[in-house]
Structure 1
Amino acid sequence: MSQKLMNSLSSILCPLCNKQTNIITDQESGEIICTACGSVITNKFHLDNVDWLSTDSEEINYRDRTGAPTSLAKYDRGLSTVIGKINRDASGRQIEMSMRGRIGRWRTWDARTQTNDSAKRNLQAAFIQLYMMKDALGLPEPAIEKVAYLYRKIQERKLVKGRTIRGALAVASYIACREMGIPRSLREISKIANTKEKEVARIYRKVMFELDLKVPQVDAVKEVIKIGNLCGLSEKTKRAATKLMVSIMKTEVFAGKNPMGLAGAAIYISSKNNNEEITQSKIAEIAGVTEVTLRHDLDILLSISESIAIPK
């Protein structure tokens, strides 16, 4: 316990027994108690200009400080310091004029040393674009941390050289979405990143080979719900399509097939059974497949309709 805290406790007077020598502090609850009469003097004890103290009885001699959490989505992980432009010291007093010129030079060199490394400059530019893509993709903070982690891995293996930052970010975003089960297609991410889908696919194959990653398969049930929402279908149709997709996944037809095409076919069959008009071309466009693929998957589903129960 700090000396400031001990001095402050020694100056507290118990209002019942008027004694100062029997005052103790409960480290778990923060209550100030008089041991002579047992009264609780105050529930919470606040002192000005005192550091945060650990409430753990085993670590009471260690001081804990609060602050912003570290983040992989910051080029410096949120740990670097910056000399600001306010001409005041830590206590709030004005800095003397004779020292301001020297501090200005320190500030200049501090700003230069923050970004004198090409890798740091690359991360700084990449994570600025990442937060611009965050709202468009609707990704949560854990997904952003995962994207930042993957991008750092891509940079460490020097896979960014010769490729655009946006392309590498799009690949990291796609892999993170696949691993976390977020339904985002490669075409959708490429469009938001303003990058050609072929270029992103090329970088994706390179990254998967170099980093030896194993990403899970696309969740077809989530894709059915996503396509149904974008098509503006009713909840009844989406539930029927979801049940049909679950039945399809239990058969051998699902093996080796594009789940987006089967999801689109399930949506089309369910919409027809519930008398909702929607064209194959619209479903194919939203699902990211061609009409030929959609019709081929429809033929397959209709051929096995006797073995699977098509809900209505």
Structure 2
Amino acid sequence: MDYAQVFAQAFALAQFQAPPPPTFLPDLAVRLICPECKDPHPQIAEEFSSGDLVCRTCGLVLGDRIVDTRSEWRTFANDERDDDPSRVGAASDPLMEGMEQLDTAISFRDGRNGLSRELRRAQSRGQGSRQEQNLMVAFRDISSWCDQISLPKVVSDTAKQIFKHAEQGQILRGKPTDAIIAACIFIACRQAHVPRTFREMCDLTRVSKKVLGQCYKSLEHSFNLTVGASATHPSLAPSIGPESLVGRYCNHLDLPPNFQVICSDIIMAARELGIGHGRSPVSIAGGAIYFTCLLLGKPKSTRDIGAVAGVSEGTIKLVYRSYLVEKDKLVKQKWIDDGKANPDNLKGAV
């Protein structure tokens, strides 16, 4: 055996590596036990009023000066109340960029020495520009109006962001603030796939449909919100369709979920056939719901449907008649075979 050749070969380094250091993990079996009663299931409580850590079994104080980490609801007004949340304030809004972090109200009572007036002047000078103050007021209005019609928070945040960009870019200079806010909420609803109609926005904000349409068109052109207008963000605000309104209208009318599916299928089939072309989505949705109600034997009056959809009874009947002419093409044979639909219910209906 040639030992020189053996020793000339490189030895594997893994044979001479030091063993890995032991891994130290926390002992999950360690528990806090009262040394007096030594109860295996201790009842140790934090008494924030005195700042002590006390064993409820024997009463032994295990620690002192415990910091209270709960929310503070105290008030230092003349009438002491423990349930006054006035000192807490609202949550921080990242869109405000710290403008709403401090809000101090100065009283008018100064003993007639004029000090309160001077303090209020100094506070107004330090509250930021007029644009920042208008932004804070607009954000409060957006949150209030979104809450009135039960819109999710994502719609409120999106509307605030659109309004801020429009205000900084001075896109709608001279337009009423309420109309700008209504247009921002309208666009935010479309982006969040919870569309609302122009009429609903007008009823909410008391803005005319003409002014709202002008603000919407300006924002749509400035931010490239039209379908296919932007290569990076195509169809940011997709156009509203009647099938997107059917679900909400059916919920208000207490109609089952399977009704919504059939009604949406009828609307899409009618669109392919060109039925109701040129009519508003609200009118098509109301007429399709009335057609589907009679088809499935769940009658709803045109008055109830018109009150929910916001259209007249005559418009609903016009759309219904156009659907009735092509009922053989709109009603699937599968629905009839399954017993869901009965085309005979459509006969004689106005």
Contact 2:243 2:267 in 1 (8 A): yes
Contact 1:244 1:309 in 2 (8 A): yes
Question: Structure with the greater relative contact order (CA < 8 A, sep ≥ 6): 1 or 2?
Answer: 1
Work out which of the residue numbers 146, 157, 168 in structure 1 matches 2:158: 146
Aligned to 2:298: 276
Contact 2:154 2:192 in 1 (8 A): no
Tell which deviates more after alignment, 153-162 or 175-184.
Answer: 153-162
Q: Distance in 1 between matches of 2:25 and 2:157?
A: 49
Aligned to 1:300: 322
Q: Distance in 2 between matches of 1:36 and 1:271?
A: 73
Q: Distance in 1 between matches of 2:25 and 2:189?
A: 57
1:1-312 mapped onto 2 (5 Å cutoff):
38=24, 40=26, 70-72=93-95, 76-78=96-98, 81-82=101-102, 109=122, 112-115=125-128, 117-214=129-226, 215-235=237-257, 237-253=259-275, 256-309=278-331, 311=335, 312=341
**Cα offsets for 1:104-125 (capped at 9, x unmatched):** x99974663223x121111011
User: Alignment partner of 2:196: what SS?
Assistant: coil
Contact 2:172 2:218 in 1 (8 A): no
Q: Distance in 1 between matches of 2:203 and 2:263?
A: 27
Cα deviation, residue 289, structure 1: 3.2
Aligned to 1:22: none
Change in CA separation of 1:230 and 1:36 when aligned onto 2, cut-off 3 Å:
closer
Contact 1:83 1:110 in 2 (8 A): no
Change in CA separation of 1:235 and 1:119 when aligned onto 2, cut-off 3 Å:
same
Structure 1 vs Structure 2: percent identity of aligned residues?
A: 19
Change in CA separation of 1:202 and 1:252 when aligned onto 2, cut-off 3 Å:
same
- Unmatched runs of 5 consecutive residues or more in structure 2: 1-20, 31-65, 68-90, 106-117, 227-236, 336-340, 342-350
**Cα offsets for 1:50-108 (capped at 9, x unmatched):** xxxxxxxxxxxxxxxxxx76532xxx2346653869xxxxxxxxxxxxxxxxxxx9997
> What is the aligned length?
236
TM-score (norm. length: structure 2): 0.56
Q: Distance in 2 between matches of 1:38 and 1:124?
A: 53
Q: Distance in 1 between matches of 2:264 and 2:189?
A: 21
AA aligned opposite 1:221 = E
Cα deviation, residue 235, structure 1: 4.5
Is the radius of gyration larger for structure 1 or structure 2?
2
**Cα offsets for 1:142-174 (capped at 9, x unmatched):** 211110111112212324433322211111000
Contact 1:265 1:294 in 2 (8 A): yes
**Cα offsets for 1:16-73 (capped at 9, x unmatched):** xxxxxxxxxxxxxxxxxxx779463689xxxx99xxxxxxxxxxxxxxxxxx76532x
Change in CA separation of 1:304 and 1:110 when aligned onto 2, cut-off 3 Å:
same
- Unmatched runs of 5 consecutive residues or more in structure 1: 1-34, 50-67, 86-104
Cα deviation, residue 245, structure 1: 2.4
Q: Distance in 2 between matches of 1:36 and 1:144?
A: 54
Cα deviation, residue 239, structure 1: 4.0
Q: Distance in 2 between matches of 1:37 and 1:172?
A: 57
AA aligned opposite 1:265 = G
User: Alignment partner of 1:253: what SS?
Assistant: coil
Q: Distance in 1 between matches of 2:197 and 2:136?
A: 26
RMSD between superposed Cα atoms in Å = 3.7
TM-score (norm. length: structure 1): 0.62
Contact 2:163 2:180 in 1 (8 A): yes
Contact 2:290 2:305 in 1 (8 A): yes
Cα deviation, residue 231, structure 1: 2.6
Tell which deviates more after alignment, 300-309 or 280-289.
Answer: 280-289
